[in-house]
Structure 1
Amino acid sequence: MILNKRLKLAYCVFLGCYGLSIHSSLAAYQDPGRLGAPDSWKTAEFNRQWGLEAISAEFAYARGYTGKGITIGVIDNAILSHSEFSGKLTRLDNGSYNFSYDKQDNMSFGDHGTHVAGIAAAKRDGAGMHGVAFDADIIGTKLNDYGNRNGREELIQSAARVINNSWGIAPDIRRDAKGDIIWLPNGRPDYVAFVKSEVIAEMMRSKSSVEWGSEQPVPTGGHSAMSTLLRAARHGKLIVFSAGNYNNYNIPEAQKSLPYAFPDVLNNYLIVTNLSDENQLSVSSTSCGQTASYCVSAPGSDIYSTVGRLESNTGGAVNREAYNKGELSLNPGYGNKSGTSMAAPHVTGVAAVLMQRFPYMSADQISAVIKTTATDLGVAGIDNLFGWGRVNLRDAINGPKMFITKEDIPQEYYVPGSYSEKQFVVNIPGLGNIVEPGTPVERRCTSSECSFDSWSNDISGHGGLTKTGAGTLALLGNNTYRGDTWVKQGVLAIDGSVASNVYIENSGTLSGEGTVGAFRAARSGSVAPGNGIGTLHVLHDAIFDRGSQYNVEVADNGRSDKIAARRAFLNGGSVNVSLERSQNLLSQNEAQSLLGNKYTILTTTDGVTGRFENANPSYPFVKVALDYRGNDVGLGITRTDASFDSLASTENEKAVARAVETLNATEPVTETAKRSVAIPAAEEANLLQSDGGEAQAVNEEASIVAGHPIYESFLGFTSARELQQATRQLSGQIHADMASAQINESRYLRDTATERLRQAEGRRTATDIKADDNGAWAKLLGSWGHASGNDNATGYQTSTYGVLLGLDSELFGDGRLGMMTGYTRTSLDGGYQSDAHSDNYHLGLYGDKRFGALALRAGGTYTWHRIDTSRSVNYGAQSDREKAKYNARTGQLFIESGYDWTSDAVNLEPFANLAYTHYRNEEINEQGGAAALRGDKQSQSATASTLGLRADTEWQTDSVAIALRGELGWQHQYGKLERKTQLMFKRTDAAFDVNSVPVSRDGAILKAGVDVSINKNAVLSLGYGGQLSSNHQDNSVNAGLTWRF
């Protein structure tokens, strides 16, 4: 404590200081601290401030909690612009610093506030030291600020959530007859002792004026500091106050006793005493005294932190004269100080770290966590010296250790009217929701703890817990608190134990697999044992009232949620059955059948009284029936009358759904499954015979039988959308798509053969076929296509690239015969993360016969395909990747006639052609999980005709020759338009047909090109070819530059 009623202060406005300069430096830093490794945070910077390890700060850092996003307020001397505060300090004072002078006029800088701020939140940058909450921001204002700025009110209205106060009023020091200070044997001055009754009486005398001052904005200097702090506390701030440095026998002064006049803010107040490095109360430290119920202890002796020093630029004296001459500099640095002023910012930093850790907690709840997790020192429990004990971040980050009521406070330290709340009300709001709305500390809860958090400490005390908010709170400890537990919103998961009674109402849910004393689920309250599937243990009574919910999760291996209680009273309520979806059935070699299983969902030692109102599965394909058997309640599961395909909407979906429907009958039964049987029809009927539709008995012989993984996964669907998404992914449409694409793209071979024949006939054709005078030619092929999806089939995209080669020769003067070969690669991207690739090897014959202007062209090709497919299956909790490699072949025959009509302006060729294509694949055998498919050898054919007109023209300019060509045709498909493939699930005979996008009955053929002869040696070419219809669009573009030597 440096500020007191005898302190003489001088002020220097920063911008007007004569020759005063401030030096700082900032270095880059790579922090070695790692999550989950507390010791990795103990760097040299950490170790220079022994208080960090004393409060176990490294354990908070290793969990990722450093005060980030929290703002700390400091009321003290002005805080120096030190490098440790770079980018994080906001000052609300008049811009001046604090200086003092001794009797010889020597001048010193008031760096008390700088030292305090560093302990709380100095940066972790590898230099000097760092604060407890090194990622927190700081807002500082001066205790005595006589400027025009209202810094204290700005601080109250700011985002600061905790305010440090390392100041106070010192008692008188005893003096001897000569007027000299009396010194105690320990070297301390002999302070006059405060008397508890007098201190409290002094506070009560100020009550009216303090309260009046707190009800309005705090004016500028001279206003009561107590009014400031009362107003701040009532605005949701946590007030941290140093106890004083007036020896152990002394107690805090009246300002620290403000909660005696205003017990409503006691939970927002923390008084702090000073510990030595031996966990003893420093000889200088005031005791907690009358503030013990809201007092803690923290390191405060010989603490290394940020300071500032006035230094001479000339090596001369540091005094007023040198200052006036501009010979002084204000330099930041580091130094040691002792006192409760240094202990308080440790607690302020702890509070900031915990505010990040528990973003949903209010200031009074953070205070409760700090107090109840403190390490007890001295006399057991709350005591005069240490209060609650030494702050302990290692324990504090795991939640409170006590729900405090007045019964937990020793009578001698109890503040009348305090600790009146019986319940610790925790609001886990859900991600993105607002907490403490309408206050200066209103904020949006954005970290993961806002939706789910767990407390692992053992919680005691006379108070209880009320859980609100949409999120989940898990209690992991052995909790013996005596108050009731209420779950009013969201989920309370008991994974440890709670000795008290638990009441669930509104939209609250009790879950977990721990132990509770008893519970009562009221209307709209829910019980859902386990985290996933598990058992909730109840020492005494489990009670369900009308309108309550028992949410039971069951698995196909016979496991289910369960309540194990002494007694159960069923006054109604609904049993809502859901299926476990945590496992990936598709990855299993064997699945177990859900149907026919029986489960025990409630078991007691002393009996069940009453019944549930009903049992409600949330699934269209599953029905449940309850069975009351003495001390237990059982549950049986059978199929509904709804078939899988009743929720399908397209032919592909229906085909897959019908195939899946047969899997339950076709799956072989394992030796394990042979030892159990399904529920016979007569027994199933018996399940449904009861008053109000409840079952009276579950087949005692029913147990686990084998089932197909896909069939079992369908039982868990809750909507038509889920089934439709699944059937589309299971269908294997990629195989039908690839077959369709190979048939469609066979046209590139016949088009190339036709173009080559026309080229040899002397007609103007595309220049992308490069031929020599001996009839050898080559063509680079590149194209892309798109098939538009419809209600039944998803669309796909294709691309084909490669090279075609040929050799032909004139025959009898009016004909030509040739052969061709080549390699192309086709890539296909289908729906639902499916894709395929095909390596294609081609061989063909072609020829023509000319009858004057009439030309007859024909040919045939044969292609070998090596196909690789891959597709994803992802629905619900199911995930798999299926891959296949197989061969296929495509053969085609084609014929065309064209008539050449030539004029001076344009050359025309009407034409007609007919093509027959036949595709056949070898066996398809996917590798993967339960969703893998197989297919037999199968084939499909297509016949198409084209009627069209080709045209070309050429004209010459002074510098270039330009040739244009084009083709327009109408293509017509004969026969069936569907392109389908028959597939079945592996190791079954459950076959189904899957259709690709159908071809269009009619479409257009469009080609265009231009050749520009730049000179006698160079020709620039650009061409486009396309097949366009409502369902398919195939396109190719080519460009080239030909240079003749």
Structure 2
Amino acid sequence: MKPQTLQKTALALLVGWYAANAAAYSEQGQAGNTKSWESAEYLKDWGLTSMNASTAYALGFNGSGVKIGVMDSGVLLNHPEFQDGRIHVVKTEGTYSKDGMRYPDASVGNGPINKNEPVKNGKRNFDKTDNGIFTKGEAFNIDGAWHKYTNDAHGTHVGGTMAASRDGNEMHGVAFGANLYSANTGGNDNMTYGPNQDYSFFLQGYSALADAGAKVINNSWGSNRRVNSSFAGAQGYKPKYDWRDVPEYGVQYYDVPKAPEPISSPAAHIYLSNLGEAEKAYYQFVTSGEKNFVDAAYEVAKNKQVIQVFTAGNRSMMVESFTRAMLPYFRPDAEKYWVNVTGQVGGEGYPNDSNDDVSDEKAGADIQEFNLAGHSKWWTIAAPSANIYSSYIQLQDNNTYGDPIYKSAGGTSMAAPHVSGALGVILSRYPYMTTDQARDVMLTTARQTTLRKGLEGKPLERWETEQGVPSNVWGWGILDLGKAMFGPGQFLGNVKINLNQNDVWSNDISDKAIKARQVEDQAEAATWTTRKAELQALMQNRAGATAEEKAEYQVGLAREVARNERAAQGYVGTLTKNGSGTLTLTGNNSFTGAITVNEGQLSGLNQSLGSTQQVIVKQGATLEVLPKAEVTKPSENGFVTETLTSTAKTVTATVEKGGRLLLNNGIANVNATFADGSILVPNKFDEEILPQLQQDPQKAVSVQGTGSFVGAENAVVETPRTYDFFAVKNESNANTLKVTVQKKALSSAATTENEVAIANALDAATNSPDYQNLVLGTEENARQAFARLSYDEDLAAQQHNVLNGLLLRQQLAQPGTVRAQLNTGTQIWTSGTFTHFSTDSLSSHAYNQLVGIDATIDTNKHLGVFVGSTQNSHKIDRTSKDRAVHLGLTAEHRFNVLTPKIGFIQSWGKHEQRAEFAQGVKSHSQTQNVFAELAYTGLKGEHFAIEPYAGVSYMHIKNKGVTKDEVQLKDNNRDLIVTSAGLRPSIPFAIGGVQLNLLGDVAYHRFHKDKAAEGSLVINNQGVANLYGKELKNVVTTGVALQAQFTPAFSVKVGYQGAYNHDTKANNVNAELRFSF
């Protein structure tokens, strides 16, 4: 087997092992626990510790869902760190826009890889004769993968720091959850990034990254621009290394101790020793009339809102950053999309590392190295740049050339990917932010103090400005990804947030930097006024102004426009809240501009809102001043929650028409003006107000705050939702915001007396779930509950049963003249009736079947006994049935023309409950009915008789109670007296030998004592509702029957009965068979 084949086989086995191991990896990191994320893999890059990345991971943010890009020398796709499907390449394809070269400084060491001999003497070998020339119109086509002999390991190392997999092996990237997209520079890190680089090539690459969705593009490029390829008269940089005192830390650092003297050697790197030299370097990019790579970067950033991250350069003590990083100085409209990255020293064990380049091998932590921020400070941040361990490619052995390995490297090229990866994590934390807002969060939360042991909290070395104001050395300071998880650190003007979710910003937010910038702007404006006049004078004579002077004039005008925009804004930090979500501020804020709440809700402690000019609450938006707030953050032992209390700082607010102030009980030091039509909302209505009112319905609960108020008494009070059973009143005045809430009786929704009783019982049953739900609802909810508990149908059914008993008793009466015509002796009889009752909406049907024996003791005395049953069917929305059995006794004695009659009926009933709350439950009843009647039989003739009568009956009805869930129907006893008076006419006649009698009965009955059926409901053993049916005051009964006596011993009777009053009707048909012995 050939060596090359063995090499590929070994590589395949290595990648396969890593892939299998990654698939088996089980994440040990726990939510809220920072220590659990600080694995051996995490610690391989000390930069993650410096930037406090474990805090972000413990909060659940790792770049997931975000796309980030890298423009570099390709990414080795078969590297074990790129095997989980998150690494993608884009293609750069097109034609060159001009003649140019990638390696104009090849002759002095910065050339392409020598393809004929890529490795020489164990080192990479570069071709000093190949300038990488391209011509206008020539085609290019390359993707973002690593291309052998074209690319080096630089892009693979950078890509690893940005997004290498967290799989338990070696190291992982900052944004290990992000998708990384790679574009190719078409060369290696020796390329010279001057005007020589082609516009079209980089435009296509940048555009491909942006079109793929990348929000950040990392540009970790070499610092190889030489005097040889620079503008005429360019200065050369030759460092002199020695020990530099770092008095703030009490150590010396081996580096360039002071700015070196310029040299003029063509081989020297370009030296931007001051702003003037930096300006000359820029002018070279714009005076040729041809666009180049900086134009491509600039246009894609602006047009596609992509953040371009560039390296400052690797020249210690150089006071300005290289042109690509400094571009926003010359094109200020690019600033919001630009980041310049300088270097921070550290190492394994940070911040207690041991560094050979530090005296006594003490810690190198938090020492700045490489190009200073200079005039790029407003968009500069420092990040780990020394001894950064990451994915790499073997390029120093012909036999293993191109194999994946790991290696440590240093330079701002290593610092920038920490920043780009961090931006990916920040964008995953704030999905609602624009890319420039995420950039500002990163910059304004940078750490400006050291973590060195014993010096914690002290300013970084050479920090020459006030804390909070960018430094000429460090820019904004050291990247702090952990702090960036808790909101911005400063507002750099008007921050417009479109938030459609809820979020908390707990960082202290100031506007110190923008105020400091005003001082710089004013000084620059004064100088520009003079210089502008000079340039205008030169330009009046076109021959008198050089191309560089014209470029200077354009830069000056652009910077003037930017200054004017900042001046018009006022150099203050302001916040505009849009979107439906709630933003909560809990920091001790000091920004001084206004807050405008256009949409959604803004909540904050006094110290979070009090520094602002005022909070303006627009129509439909809400402001909440918090008396206290809980802030939860991760720690080494898990989430820790801290309760913050509002200070005495005064919050000034204006609530416009339709705007809301959410009133928390106990807020103070609030000065608010309420416009007509503004809204006051008592907060925590359900959590704090309602429970008090539910337990004590008679209590009035007030929510109030203090301060100074205008128009508060006219604000409309609004509850979070419709509560029909709470009266809410605005009792505010000039010094107090006060909303009082008192419960209204549930009976306010009742429409009947029984509903009132049920409502009052519910109001008394404060522990009942029914009550708890009802008080939070609407009147319609209450009426539904009343209907569920309604006993009206059962009460109406009881009245029907009473009437059925009355009609039954009427049937038992037999006109005396008719009885006299039957044979004396014992009579057996049976009768059946079918009756229909209707009362309001209740419809009932009753079927009675009786069987009896009447015995004649002598001619004038009769005794009777009978048994029977009744089946009632009641229907409104559904059908329910009652059943009863009866046992009765009757006695009669005739005295000439008077006939007294007495009787007793005992009934036992079983009833299906009609009330909704008791569906499926059956109850029992007993009824004793004692009755007496006196009839006058003296009014009769041969063909007609009429029998007046009067009667009285007493009914004792006992209904047994039932219990269903929390509702109990109590036992009920009812006593009912009925007095009656009536007439029974009869007409005897015969047909065909059959003796017939036409019988009639009409009577008036009056009810006394418990005229209304009654039920007593007990709810949750607390509230009692006594419910009454309609009174049964009086009723008229009528009847007509035809009795046929077929033999002296056998008769048949069929008839009709009716009962009527103002709201009840009953109609029945009946039949009777009677046998005499």
Alpha-carbon distance between aligned partners in 1 of 2:119 and 2:402, rounded to the nearest angstrom? 21
Q: Is the Cα–Cα contact under 8 Å of residues 761 and 1022 in structure 2 kept in the other structure?
A: no
Alpha-carbon distance between aligned partners in 2 of 1:579 and 1:342, rounded to the nearest angstrom? 51
Distance 1:660 1:585, change over 3 A: farther
Q: Give the Å deviation of 1:508.
A: 2.0
**Paired letter, 1:300:** S
Structure showing the higher helix proportion among its residues: 2
Do residues 29 (structure 1) and 25 (structure 2) align?
Answer: yes
Q: 1:987 aligns with which of 1022, 1042, 1046?
A: 1022
Do residues 475 (structure 1) and 577 (structure 2) align?
Answer: no
**Paired letter, 1:494:** G
Q: Is the Cα–Cα contact under 8 Å of residues 601 and 623 in structure 2 kept in the other structure?
A: yes
Do residues 502 (structure 1) and 615 (structure 2) align?
Answer: yes
Alpha-carbon distance between aligned partners in 1 of 2:737 and 2:479, rounded to the nearest angstrom? 49
Equivalent position of 1:924 in the other structure: 963
Equivalent position of 2:1002 in the other structure: none
Identity across aligned pairs (percent)?
25
Alignment of 1:440-519 (within 5 A): 450-461=501-512, 462-495=572-605, 496-498=607-609, 499-500=611-612, 501-513=614-626
Alpha-carbon distance between aligned partners in 2 of 1:136 and 1:426, rounded to the nearest angstrom? 23
Alpha-carbon distance between aligned partners in 2 of 1:298 and 1:352, rounded to the nearest angstrom? 15
Alpha-carbon distance between aligned partners in 2 of 1:636 and 1:491, rounded to the nearest angstrom? 23
Q: Is the Cα–Cα contact under 8 Å of residues 549 and 575 in structure 1 kept in the other structure?
A: yes
Equivalent position of 1:170 in the other structure: 224
Do residues 193 (structure 1) and 247 (structure 2) align?
Answer: no
Alpha-carbon distance between aligned partners in 1 of 2:239 and 2:504, rounded to the nearest angstrom? 55
Secondary structure, aligned partner of 2:381: strand
Q: 1:271 aligns with which of 315, 334, 340?
A: 340
Q: 2:155 aligns with which of 113, 138, 147?
A: 113
1:67-98, CA deviations, whole angstroms, 9 ceiling, x for partnerless residues? Answer: 11111100001100112113111112479x98
Q: Is the Cα–Cα contact under 8 Å of residues 644 and 661 in structure 1 kept in the other structure?
A: no
Q: Give the Å deviation of 1:104.
A: 3.7
Equivalent position of 1:395 in the other structure: 483
Equivalent position of 2:676 in the other structure: 572
Alpha-carbon distance between aligned partners in 1 of 2:576 and 2:689, rounded to the nearest angstrom? 39
Distance 1:590 1:37, change over 3 A: same
**Paired letter, 1:985:** N
1:1019-1041, CA deviations, whole angstroms, 9 ceiling, x for partnerless residues? Answer: xxxxxxxxxxxxxxxxxxxxxxx
Q: TM-score of the superposition, structure 2-length normalised?
A: 0.51
Equivalent position of 2:39 in the other structure: 43
Equivalent position of 1:154 in the other structure: 208
Q: Is the Cα–Cα contact under 8 Å of residues 78 and 98 in structure 1 kept in the other structure?
A: no
Alpha-carbon distance between aligned partners in 1 of 2:660 and 2:690, rounded to the nearest angstrom? 29
Q: Is the Cα–Cα contact under 8 Å of residues 281 and 385 in structure 1 kept in the other structure?
A: no
Alpha-carbon distance between aligned partners in 1 of 2:594 and 2:692, rounded to the nearest angstrom? 45
1:540-589, CA deviations, whole angstroms, 9 ceiling, x for partnerless residues? Answer: 755555x3445566xxxxxx646644766555334555685534999999
1:243-273, CA deviations, whole angstroms, 9 ceiling, x for partnerless residues? Answer: 1112233532212221122211212111111
Structural RMSD (CA): 5.2
Do residues 299 (structure 1) and 348 (structure 2) align?
Answer: no
**Paired letter, 2:314:** N
Structure 1: give runs of 5+ residues left out of the alignment: 1-13, 214-222, 312-317, 323-327, 405-421, 431-449, 517-533, 554-559, 668-705, 737-791, 793-861, 866-870, 872-883, 892-918, 927-931, 940-979, 995-1045
**Paired letter, 2:619:** N
Distance 1:726 1:115, change over 3 A: farther
Alignment of 1:797-812 (within 5 A): none
Alpha-carbon distance between aligned partners in 2 of 1:45 and 1:627, rounded to the nearest angstrom? 62
Q: Between Structure 1 and Structure 2, whose CA radius of gyration is higher?
A: 2
1:511-540, CA deviations, whole angstroms, 9 ceiling, x for partnerless residues? Answer: 131599xxxxxxxxxxxxxxxxx9997727
Q: Give the Å deviation of 1:225.
A: 4.5
Q: Give the Å deviation of 1:641.
A: 9.4
1:588-619, CA deviations, whole angstroms, 9 ceiling, x for partnerless residues? Answer: 9970226645x3645346x7678516556654
Q: Is the Cα–Cα contact under 8 Å of residues 676 and 711 in structure 2 kept in the other structure?
A: no
Q: Give the Å deviation of 1:357.
A: 0.6
Equivalent position of 1:1042 in the other structure: none
1:478-512, CA deviations, whole angstroms, 9 ceiling, x for partnerless residues? Answer: 11111111111111101342211111113221113
Q: 1:91 aligns with which of 81, 89, 92?
A: 89
Q: Is the Cα–Cα contact under 8 Å of residues 120 and 131 in structure 1 kept in the other structure?
A: yes
Q: Give the Å deviation of 1:332.
A: 1.4
Do residues 349 (structure 1) and 346 (structure 2) align?
Answer: no
Equivalent position of 1:372 in the other structure: 444
Do residues 256 (structure 1) and 325 (structure 2) align?
Answer: yes
Equivalent position of 2:706 in the other structure: 603
Alignment of 1:572-651 (within 5 A): 572-576=676-680, 580-583=684-687, 591-593=695-697, 596-597=700-701, 599=702, 601=704, 603-604=706-707, 611-612=713-714, 615=717, 618-627=722-731, 631-632=735-736, 634-637=738-741, 643-645=747-749
Distance 1:570 1:982, change over 3 A: closer
Alpha-carbon distance between aligned partners in 1 of 2:156 and 2:729, rounded to the nearest angstrom? 71
1:326-373, CA deviations, whole angstroms, 9 ceiling, x for partnerless residues? Answer: xx5632121111111111111111111110111111111111111111
Distance 1:732 1:297, change over 3 A: farther
1:862-904, CA deviations, whole angstroms, 9 ceiling, x for partnerless residues? Answer: 99x9xxxxx9xxxxxxxxxxxx9x998999xxxxxxxxxxxxx
Equivalent position of 1:820 in the other structure: none
Equivalent position of 1:779 in the other structure: none
Q: Give the Å deviation of 1:986.
A: 2.1
Secondary structure, aligned partner of 1:425: strand
Secondary structure, aligned partner of 1:206: helix
1:726-768, CA deviations, whole angstroms, 9 ceiling, x for partnerless residues? Answer: 668x8599xx9xxxxxxxxxxxxxxxxxxxxxxxxxxxxxxxx
Distance 1:656 1:43, change over 3 A: farther
Secondary structure, aligned partner of 2:403: strand
Q: 2:241 aligns with which of 184, 195, 208?
A: 184
Alpha-carbon distance between aligned partners in 1 of 2:483 and 2:218, rounded to the nearest angstrom? 22
**Paired letter, 1:184:** Y
Do residues 332 (structure 1) and 410 (structure 2) align?
Answer: no
Distance 1:989 1:563, change over 3 A: same
Distance 1:61 1:635, change over 3 A: closer
Alpha-carbon distance between aligned partners in 2 of 1:339 and 1:268, rounded to the nearest angstrom? 23
Equivalent position of 2:430 in the other structure: 358
Stretch moving more, 52-61 or 246-255: 246-255
Secondary structure, aligned partner of 2:486: coil
Alpha-carbon distance between aligned partners in 1 of 2:717 and 2:395, rounded to the nearest angstrom? 80
Q: 1:235 aligns with which of 289, 297, 304?
A: 304
Do residues 62 (structure 1) and 147 (structure 2) align?
Answer: no
Q: TM-score of the superposition, structure 1-length normalised?
A: 0.53
Alpha-carbon distance between aligned partners in 2 of 1:727 and 1:236, rounded to the nearest angstrom? 61
Secondary structure, aligned partner of 1:90: strand
Alpha-carbon distance between aligned partners in 1 of 2:760 and 2:8, rounded to the nearest angstrom? 91
1:902-934, CA deviations, whole angstroms, 9 ceiling, x for partnerless residues? Answer: xxxxxxxxxxxxxxxxx99875375xxxxx433
**Paired letter, 2:241:** L
Q: Give the Å deviation of 1:470.
A: 1.3
Equivalent position of 2:650 in the other structure: 539
Distance 1:596 1:536, change over 3 A: farther
Equivalent position of 2:759 in the other structure: 660
